[in-house]
Copies of this chain bind each other. A is one copy, B any other.
Amino acid sequence: MLKLSRLLLHSSRDPLSRKSLFGEATGDFKLLRGITTQTVMSSAMQSSARDGNSAVKIFAPYSIYKGKAALSADPRLPTFSKLGSGDYRVERRGVIMLTFWPAIGERKYDWDKRQVFALSATEVGSLISLGSKDSCEFFHDPSMLSSNAGQVRKSLSIKAHVDGSGYFISLSVVNNILKTNDRFVVPVTTAEFAVMRTAFTFALPHIMGWDQFTNQLPHGANQSSPKAVHELQSSEWDR
């Protein structure tokens, strides 16, 4: 079934690959939403829900308020699906969510007019490896696999200032259904971009689910007796 999923996953990528500069990566993210699994445990925004009944959300955005718009960033963790074996597989990859909302007067901002852009792991990789003179641009179609495909086009652009003193981060959202055309531009200083780079670098393994790979040794009195040998680690020598 695993193989089947992989084949399905890549049998209809055309809509994406024509639209996305980083089609491979964003495609993976988006298409994974189509996989049906029996059991899904979302840990996104949950903290320490070890007992399964306390799904506490944490709000800790990094926000930048500038003249014409505000920008905030916060990570969204992946979802995991429980396999028949009792193991877990990443179901939907995590993202770093960028939210833009416009200024509507002197230091007033309208949260209701916000637009979001979800950076995939590879898009985060692109952002954190930007040189001080570099630029990059990403394209998303949030309705990609629905009947509304192509009706909404989002593009995020990160352009270095000519003097290397920071970046312009801008989001454009063209919605042919609602007949709207939103554009936000937020100038970001080198210091603010350093915070984003550092925080995104920290968050990247978490949105990939790699923070699960942490050694856990048995502790306490119940470990005093010798344990049976477990050999879980598959290696390249096993094949």
* Chain A interface (Cβ < 8 Å from any Cβ of B): 2-3, 6-7, 10-13, 22, 24-25, 27-28, 33, 38-52, 54-60, 62-66, 74-80, 82-83, 85-90, 92, 95, 97, 106-112, 115-118, 121-126, 128-129, 136, 140, 142-143, 154, 189-195, 198-199, 201-206, 208-224, 226-227, 229-237, 239
Contacts and interface: CB of A to CB of B under 8 A. Distances in A.
Nearest to A191: B126
B219 A10 contact: no
6 contacts: A22-B189, A46-B216, A56-B88, A76-B233, A116-B239, A125-B194
Given A57-B87, A58-B87, A191-B129, A215 B217 contact: no
A152 to B, nearest CB: 10
A236 B116 contact: yes
A184 to B, nearest CB: 14
Contacts of A60: 78, 89-90, 208-210, 212-213
A7 B38 contact: no
Contact of A44 (B75, B112, B122, B232): B232
A199 B208 contact: yes
Contacts of A116: 236, 239
B6 A227 contact: no
A107 B28 CA distance: 12
A1 to B, nearest CB: 11
Given A47-B212, A51-B220, 11 more contacts: A3-B110, A47-B88, A47-B214, A48-B214, A50-B216, A58-B88, A77-B214, A82-B227, A95-B235, A198-B204, A211-B214
B47 A219 contact: yes
B76 A2 contact: no
A73 to B, nearest CB: 10
Contacts of A218: 41, 49-52
Contact of A206 (B78, B121, B215): B215
A135 to B, nearest CB: 13
A57 B13 CA distance: 30
A162 B45 CA distance: 42
